[in-house]
Structure 1
Amino acid sequence: MDRLLVLVRHGQSEWNLKNLFTGWRDPDLTEQGVTEARRAGALLAGEGISFDLAYTSALGRAQRTCKLVLEEMGLSGLKTIEDQALNERDYGDLSGLNKDDARAKFGEEQVHVWRRSYDVPPPGGESLRDTVARVLPYFVQEILPSVLRGEKTLVAAHGNSLRALVMVLEKLSPAGIMKRELATGAPIVYRLGPDATVIEKRDLIV
């Protein structure tokens, strides 16, 4: 049985391009982001990969990425489940701020702590630990059973919600996951054993 799980961070968004904290705000993809999503689909199709099921967040940039990936693979209309449990980390009061302006307002060291510590949230927002606590139960209860049943599964989501999954799948420490960067539109392909451990992992280079 092929227990396939593929994670894809959404393509570049308008706010990625403008260097803004995005979180639960809902900007669309840029033209580059659309290209990245389509390229991810072409890469996956070129690997002979197909899907039985897809999951995405409640945010448009991830949903559009998911749709574009599937279109490129000839899988338009595939059952896709949307849930805010897979939303990006909520940046709270930082949402919508330019990252350079945030450093000027709060101080570079403080912004670095909010962005790169595991358990210190920005005002009104979530830490990565909070994001893991939101994403992981959904993964364990909804996504993982699909994979273990042999349903080849795509998850199109966000840098930090996917970090939560990568942390668990790859058994990374809090310090290790904070150093892990996930490129936009770059698929990560996992094959799992019957006990849900990773037996193969590949990064498809965009």
Structure 2
Amino acid sequence: MSDLDATTPRVFLARHGETEWTKNGRFTGATELDLTPAGVDQVASTAALLVGPGKLIDPARVVRIFVSPRKRTKQTFKHLFGSSEITITHDRVTLTEDITEWDYGDYEGLLEGQIRADRAERGLDKEKRWDIWRDGCEGGETGQQVTERLDRSISTIRDIQRPHMHGEMAADVVLVAHGLILRCFVKRWLGYPLDMPLQMMLSPGAIGILSYKKHDIEEPAFFIGMSIPFEV
């Protein structure tokens, strides 16, 4: 038996396109950056292939879109759903801080190597190297704070999708957010603590997919591969 058919609600994770800080790996939380021209192209290419009537993300099946209120994510939303053939009504779109990027605090704009070097100079991390999943960010968020806001988002999404697990109504949801917070979201979707090792990658402009096994709200899952819809 298949774990999923077309009626099972899905959650699509859309990472924003490239920014100048994405290119060199600087920690980007609250800093407002535009997409680069390449970042716009990344999102536009994803949209052309995957977003639209009869495509993987079919606007007719999307009941809610949650967008981080940073400039780069709002631009990404615009390029994902800005096609003239796509109609997304205002009431389906929510800007929410609950899915904004991890607050990096004192580490904003730094590279991981710079953070580790600074902490070493101050005599920190003598037994274990700094790990954001476990240690959080000085002057920013802890893993527990991130967990609480993501769990709040997940609860909202499950309330939306719970009545429609067998296709009673289309109930797909889209998140437009950031690289690290979306990986955190996957862990919490599956019920894992943030510091549990689970190596994941999500390219700028990419789409990830979550859903449920056997139409069961109590069996959240993620796709390691999914066939793409095609027109007959």
Question: Which runs of 5 or more structure 2 residues have no equivalent in the other structure?
Answer: 1-6, 165-169, 227-232
Once the 2 structures are TM-superposed, how far is the Cα of residue 139 of structure 1 from its aligned partner? 2.2
**Aligned partner (choices 98, 106, 109) of residue 85 of structure 1:** 98
**Alignment partner of 1:42 is 2:48:** yes
Q: One-letter code of the match for 2:186?
A: V
Q: TM-score, normalised by structure 1?
A: 0.81
Bigger mean CA offset, 89-98 vs 47-56: 47-56
Other-structure match for 1:118: 133
Show the counterpart of 1:74: 85
Paired with 2:114 and 2:87, the residues of 1 have a C-alpha distance of: 41
Q: Does residue 176 in structure 1 map to residue 197 in structure 2?
A: yes
- 1:128 counterpart (143, 148, 167): 143
Contact 2:150 2:188 in 1 (8 A): no
User: In 2, Cα distance between the equivalents of 1:57 and 1:32?
Assistant: 21
Q: After the TM superposition, list the runs of 4 or more consecutive aligned residues in structure 1 that deviate by more than 6 angstroms.
A: none
The 1:35/1:147 distance shift into structure 2, 3 A limit, reads farther
Task: Tell me how many residue pairs correspond in the alignment.
Answer: 201
8 A Cα contact 1:7 1:154, kept in partner: yes
**What amino acid does structure 2 have at the position aligned with 1:175?**
M
Please tell me the residue identity of whatever aligns with 1:132.
T
Instruction: State the Cα distance separating 1:176 from its structure 2 match.
Output: 2.2
Percent identity, aligned pairs only? 24
Greater mean deviation of Cα atoms: 5-14 or 194-203: 194-203
- Pair 1:132–1:160, CA change in 2 (3 A): farther
Map 1:87-106 → 2, pairs under 5 A: 87-106=100-119
**Paired residue type of 2:58:** S
1:147 aligns with 2:161: yes
Q: What are structure 1's unaligned runs of at least 5 residues?
A: none
1:36-94 deviation line (CA, Å, top 9, x unaligned): 21222233237443132211112111121122111259325443110111110000011
Which of residues 134, 138, 148 is equivalent to 2:153?
Answer: 138
In our comparison, the structure showing a higher alpha carbon Rg is: 2
| Contact 2:73–2:178, Cα closer than 8 Å, also in 1 | yes
Distance 2:218 2:175 in 1: 16
Counterpart of 1:57? Answer: 68
Mark the CA change 1:129 to 1:182 in structure 2 (over 3 Å): closer, same or farther. farther
